[in-house]
Amino acid sequence: MKINMLRIAVVTCLVLVGLQKGYSQGTFVNLDFESVIPPLNPDLNFSVPITSALPGWTGYINGNPRDRVSYDSISLGGPSISLLDSLSPFPSLRPIQANNSVYLKSFSDAGGTSAGIGQTGQIPSGALSLLFLMADPYLSVSFAGQPIPLVQFGTSGSYTIVGGDISMFAGQTGELRFVGTGFFDDIQFSNQSIPEPGTFGLFGLGAFLLGWRFGCRRT
């Protein structure tokens, strides 16, 4: 029992250290959507320049670049990219953490349309996983055109903790793109691998979530 407790303590410490906010984000910027350049003055369609709302990111509608995004508004008649803050008129779409979060809205009917955001950068050389918070699990993530399978670790409050294995892309430069429908925030690269089932599988998952929550509180 003492040996098992020691192992648990050691693994917990490693996870907590690995998920600190200070871990390198490579050359990617504004992964928490907090680098807004004010003032954001919406036009009659409640849109603002993406260069002010989401510096570093490119918006995509049906795969085509967009230079404007909605601000505290969501399109009801088509795909949209929205930056939502604490003044959002939608009670269920208030910032997941800090001051801003992004909502993508796509349609999957016969004439399906898509919304997405992407950013080109270099993934840190020691990164093993990509983590983020999401309120709706309908997003797909890719890097340099290659899909990143996502794993849901659990839920806390109104959001889901999601991660994907990016170890094969460590040190590479390419576009990280999020597409689909979802409310998400706090994208991070971690030097901790995605937990695998095994002798310490369940504990590893618990420690992983504990480390994530510890990191979020330090925001």
**137 and 219 housed in the same domain:** no
**143 and 198 housed in the same domain:** no
**199 and 186 housed in the same domain:** no
**11 and 73 housed in the same domain:** no
**40 and 131 housed in the same domain:** yes
Give the type of residue at 4: N
**46 and 142 housed in the same domain:** yes
**14 and 42 housed in the same domain:** no
pLDDT at 206: 52
**47 and 120 housed in the same domain:** yes
**67 and 29 housed in the same domain:** yes
- CA–CA separation, 87 vs 46, rounded Å? 13
Which candidate, 7, 5, 85, 1, places its Cα nearest to that of 42?
A: 85
**45 and 150 housed in the same domain:** yes
pLDDT tens-digit profile, the chain (219 residues): 444 443 433 333 333 334 445 578 999 999 999 999 999 999 999 999 999 999 999 999 999 999 999 999 998 778 999 999 999 999 989 999 999 999 999 987 646 689 999 999 999 999 999 999 998 768 999 999 999 999 987 776 778 889 999 999 999 999 999 999 999 999 999 998 886 644 334 444 454 554 544 455 444
Number of C-beta neighbours around residue 58 at 10 A: 17
Which candidate, 122, 134, 102, places its Cα nearest to that of 175?
A: 122
Residues whose CB falls within 8 Å of the CB of residue 63, separated by 6 or more in sequence, listed in order: 114, 116
**58 and 124 housed in the same domain:** yes
**91 and 172 housed in the same domain:** yes
pLDDT at 165: 96
pLDDT at 204: 46
| Residue 184 structural domain | 25-190
Q: What is the CATH number of the domain that holds 67?
A: 2.60.120
Which candidate, 57, 29, 24, places its Cα nearest to that of 170?
A: 24
- CA–CA separation, 172 vs 169, rounded Å? 5
Q: Are 174 and 120 in contact (CB under 8 A)?
A: yes
Residue 39 DSSP SS3:
coil
Q: Count the domains in the chain.
A: 2
